[in-house]
Amino acid sequence: MWQLSAISYRHIQDPASQRLTWNKPPKSVLVIKKIRDATLLQPFKELCIFLTEVKNMIVYVEKKVLEDPAISGDENFGAITKKFCTFREDLDDISNRVDFIICLGGDGTLLYASSLFQESVPPVMAFHLGSLGFLTPFKFDTYQSQVTQIIEGNAAIVLRSRLKVRVLKENWEKKARVDEKGIILTNGDIENSRKVVQYQVLNEVVVDRGPSSYLSNVDLFLDGHLITTVQGDGVIVSTPTGSTAYAVAAGASMIHPNVPAIMITPICPHSLSFRPIVVPAGVELKIMLSRDARNTAWVSFDGRKRQEICHGDSITITTSCFPVPSICFRDPVNDWFESLAQCLHWNVRKKQNYLSSEDEEF
């Protein structure tokens, strides 16, 4: 088990004071590796050998990772894999078995790790072995000393808020038909039935127009009140962590993950005045198709579980009670600005030349 400790000398807590400490030494670790990425095979094997042979830890690995021929066919590594505990996504619950998580890959591995835990999430240590690496502050070159430091405890941590999303599908057994142009055809018998699905989302919920050539037309409610109708390519509802993902590409501001907020960003709105807005973390948002919408909409959650939204369906979004505790390389503030500079090249500009006293005369 782990706990969050903070040293606070002021009324407003310094994000850098959040620390990870263990109630007792961790015994189990979940290692998440990007599937079928040949560049990660050697780091994955080295890490697993270190964790099992040197640190004597119980290692959990997803079953489909071990089914990779490059791993299953390695006889030398076979003796190590026999010590692993395996699981399958959506079938096995490991929420109470894992003390912390190690991710090998890019930002997508951290998003995937989040999706495996619908309630409390173990602390996550993410190594940058992918393309962008905004959420993966650790470099693999010195993994042994870094993992040892985490096991010994007292590491800096940032609590990345998630969104709790509830999708209500009306008449889901027999949906209204949509023609080749994306226009809804409502004729035909439709059975009365409902389906409710919940998701925990780390980056963003994206509602878009899908394959239709028409503008999306969705109503946005805040705490039960209609605040606007989105007419455009769609809308992004993101966490502060997700503000530097799809949202920033759509013109949103970048929010530090310690800020309790939800970002609402339109995608190519057909309006000159529709700007991204930030709302308090405690509100409840609801998204529905407008009554006069010409076509259905589509929704995805951290880029996964994409599905169609029809008339009568609703998407309810609130801030989750279960954040993702992300282990920092240094601290939450320095790591964030380092990622802005290294990954997004924030405010990179050639410096202006110094103006001498002689130049001022001209």
Q: Which residues are catalytic?
A: 107
Please choose, from the candidates 134, 133, 137, 115, the residue with its C-alpha nearest in 3D space to the C-alpha of residue 125: 137
Measured at the CA of 218, the angle between CA 212 and CA 219, to 5 degrees, comes to: 175
* 296 phi/psi in degrees, rounded to 5: -75, 175
What b-and-e string marks burial along 56-76, b requiring 16 or more CB atoms within 10 Å of the CB?
Answer: ebbbbbbeebeebeebeeeee
270-273 contacts at long range (C-beta below 8 A, 24 or more positions apart): 270/215, 270/231, 270/232, 271/231, 271/232
Q: Are strands 2-6 and 85-87 parallel, antiparallel or unpaired?
A: unpaired
Please state, in angstroms and rounded to a whole number, the distance separating the CA atoms of residues 268 and 246: 12
CB count in 10 Å sphere of residue 47:
22
Please state, in angstroms and rounded to a whole number, the distance separating the CA atoms of residues 285 and 222: 5
The β-bridge partners of 228 are 220
Nearest-10 Cα torsion for 309, 311, 314, 315:
30
